A = this chain, B = another copy of it.
Amino acid sequence: MTILENKPETTSKPDTAIFSHLESEVRSYSRGWPAVFDKASGSWLRSEDGKDYLDFFAGAGALNYGHNNPVLKSALVDYIMSDGVTHGLDMYTVAKRKLLETFESHVLAPRGLDYKVQFPGPTGTNAVEAALKLARKVTGRESIINFTNAFHGMTLGALSVTGNSMKRAGAGIPLVHATPMPFDNYFNGVTEDFQWFSRVLDDAGSGLNRPAAVIVETVQGEGGVNVARPEWLRALADLCKERDILLIVDDVQMGCGRTGPFFSFEIAGITPDIVTLSKSIGGYGMPLALTLFKRELDVWGPGEHNGTFRGNNPAFVTAAAALEHYWADDKLERDTLRKGERIRQTFMNLSDMFDGVSTRGRGLVQGLVFDKPEDADKVCALAFEEGLLAETSGPSDEVVKLLPPLTITDDELEFGLNILAEATAKVRS
C-alpha cells in the first residue's frame, strides 16, 4: 500500500452482524473505527472493502516497526516453515537463546545495564504484576506509589496502580495498597517537584504506608501524553534511592524506541531497579513481555510466578530480528527524534493558529491537546473519514495522541499531518 493507493471509495456498510451478536459490549476501538480490517502493511491498514487507512496509532504502540514488517515477516515465516518450537513455556529453546543473546548484545551491554530478564507472561499487565510482586518480595512492604493518570494494566495488581476511575470501578472490589502522587507538572509548575511526596515519606506521622516501590511512566500515553522532564525523573530516582524504595519504570508503551532511545528513561540518565517491556518488544505485534530487574533483586524462587504463554517462540524470533535490524546503530533513534520534531512543528503551528489547542510529546509520541475534549474526538472522527487512524487519550479524552510506526516515511507523515491539520481547522474554526 502507498499513499497513491489511498483512494477512499464509496463503501458499502461492512458486515458486522456477528460482532454485534456475539462479542461483548466491552469492545471499544471498533466503535470509533467501524471498519472491518483485512490487510496491513507498513504504516497502512486496509479494510475489506478496499479502503486504506494510514495508521497513526500503531497498535497502541505495539507496532513500532510497522505492520507485517518484511524483515520480521521473513524471519517469522522461515521459523514456522521449519517447524521451530512454537510454544515452550519456560523451557530452553534455540529461539529464546537467540533472543536473550541479542537482547544482551544490542540492548543491555551497550547501555551498561546489568539486568536479569524475566518472561512474566506475554502481556504488559503480566509484566507489571511480576514487577510489583518482586518489589514487594524484596522489600517486605505492600504499598506502591503510583502517579496521577497512570496506566499500567487491567489485572487486579496492575489496575490498583492505574488512575482511570472508570477502569478502576471495573475491579468490583476496593483497590488498595496504592497511593497516587502528582505526576510531573501536575500543578503547572507552581508547586515544587515532590513537595508532597517527599514530605509524607519523611514525616513519620503522615499516615502514608511506607512504599515498596514507585511505578512510573516517563511519558504517560493513556494518561494524555504527559511528559516527565529528565530532571524530574532524576529527582524521583534520587528520592527513591535515598529512602530505599524501588523504582519501577513501566516502559511497555514508551520503550522500544518510541521516544527515541531504546529505553525511554535513557534521556534522564537513570537506571531503574525494575523495568517492564511489552507491546513492541515482540516487533511484529505478537504477544510478548519482559520484566527486567537489577541482578541483586532476582530473589524469585523457581516457578513462583508462571504462566502458560511465557514462551511465545515466534515472538522471540521476531523480537530478535527487530533488535538486530533496528538497534545495531542509532539510525532509528535519530529518525524517531527527527520525525517527532516534524510532528511537533505542525502541532506548534496549530497551537499558534487556534485558541484552546496546545501540544506536548517526546519522540514519536505526540499529543495535540484541546481545551474542549469534544474537539479531540471530532478531529479523530474527521481523520478516520479521511483515512487516518488516531486515537484520543487523557482523563477526558481531550488529547489526540499520535503513535505512528517509527518506520513511517516522511511522505506518509506529511500526508497524515495534513489530514489532522485540516480536521483541526474544521473543528476549531
* Interface 9-mer from A78-86, A257-265, A350-358: A78-86
Looking at the complex, which one of B155, B175, B200 makes contact with A148 (CB distance below 8 Å)?
A: B200
Given A94-B48, A305-B154 in contact, is the A191-B180 Cβ separation under 8 Å? no
B25 touching A174, Cβ below 8 Å: no
A241 to chain B, nearest CB (A): 21
Give the docked Cα–Cα distance between A332 and B89 (Å): 25
Contact with B along A140-160 (1 / 0, CB 8 A): 001100111110011111101
| Among B21, B40, B82, B116, contact of A23 (Cβ-Cβ < 8 Å) | B116
- Does chain B have a CB within 8 A of A172? yes
Contact indicator A62/B308 (Cβ below 8 Å): yes
- With contacts A90-B28, A136-B173, A284-B86 taken as known, whether A156 is within 8 angstroms of B180 at the C-beta atoms is no
CB distance from A162 to the nearest CB of B (A): 7
Min CB distance, A315 to chain B, in Å?
A: 9
Q: Which residues of B contact A158 (CB under 8 A)?
A: 155
**Contact call A26/B121, Cβ cutoff below 8 A:** no
Please give, as numbers and ranges, the residues of chain B lying within 8 Å of A61 by CB-CB distance.
308
Report the bound CA distance from A206 to B181 in whole Å.
Answer: 9
CB contacts under 8 Å to B, within A184-234, are: 186-187, 190-192, 195-196, 199-200, 203-210, 212, 223-224
Question: Do A303 and B28 contact each other (CB < 8 Å), given the known contacts A94-B38, A308-B62?
Answer: yes
> Distance in Å from the Cβ of A374 to the closest Cβ of chain B?
15
Chain B positions within 8 Å of A203 at CB level = 148-149, 163, 395
In contact, A104 and B22 (Cβ under 8 angstroms)? yes
Contact A180 B195 (CB under 8 A): no
Is A255 in the interface zone, CB < 8 Å from B? no
* CA–CA, A41 and B81, complex, Å: 11
CB contacts (< 8 Å) of A192 on chain B: these are 190
Residues of B within 8 A of A108 (CB): 22
A331 within 8 A of B: no
How big is the A interface, by class?
Answer: 35 or more
Residues of B within 8 A of A287 (CB): 122-123, 286-287, 309, 312
**Known contacts A25-B301, A207-B162: does B88 contact A59 (CB below 8 Å)?**
yes
A83 is contacted by which of B21, B67, B84 (Cβ under 8 Å)?
B67
Q: Is A63 an interface residue (CB 8 A)?
A: yes
Within 8 A of B (CB), among A4-31: 14-16, 18-19, 21-31
Given A16-B92, A28-B90, A129 contacting B156 (CB threshold 8 A): yes
Nearest CB in chain B: distance from A405 CB, A: 11
Residue of B nearest to A98 (CB): B18
Q: Which chain B residues lie closer than 8 Å to A143 at the CB level?
A: 174
Contact A86 B196 (CB under 8 A): no
Known: A166-B204, A308-B279, A312-B287. A35 touches B92 (CB 8 A): yes
CB-based nearest B residue for A187? B195
Asked whether B22 lies within 8 Å of A103 as measured between CB atoms, the reply is yes
Whether A71 sits at the interface, judged by CB under 8 Å, is: no
A328 interface hit (Cβ, 8 Å): no
Contacts of A178 in B (CB 8 A): 207
Contact A207–B168 (Cβ < 8 Å): yes
Known contacts A67-B85, A123-B123; A18 and B104 CB within 8 A of each other: yes
Q: Is A68 an interface residue (CB 8 A)?
A: yes
User: Which residues of B have CB within 8 Å of A3?
Assistant: none
Q: Are A170 and B94 in contact (CB under 8 A)?
A: no
Which 7 residue pairs across A and B have the least CB separation, nearest first?
Answer: A136-B172, A87-B285, A205-B395, A155-B155, A176-B176, A163-B207, A26-B300
- A sample of 12 cross-chain residue pairs with beta-carbon separation below 8 angstroms, ordered by A number, consists of A19-B92, A22-B108, A31-B302, A40-B85, A59-B88, A124-B307, A148-B205, A163-B206, A167-B306, A180-B208, A196-B196, A203-B395
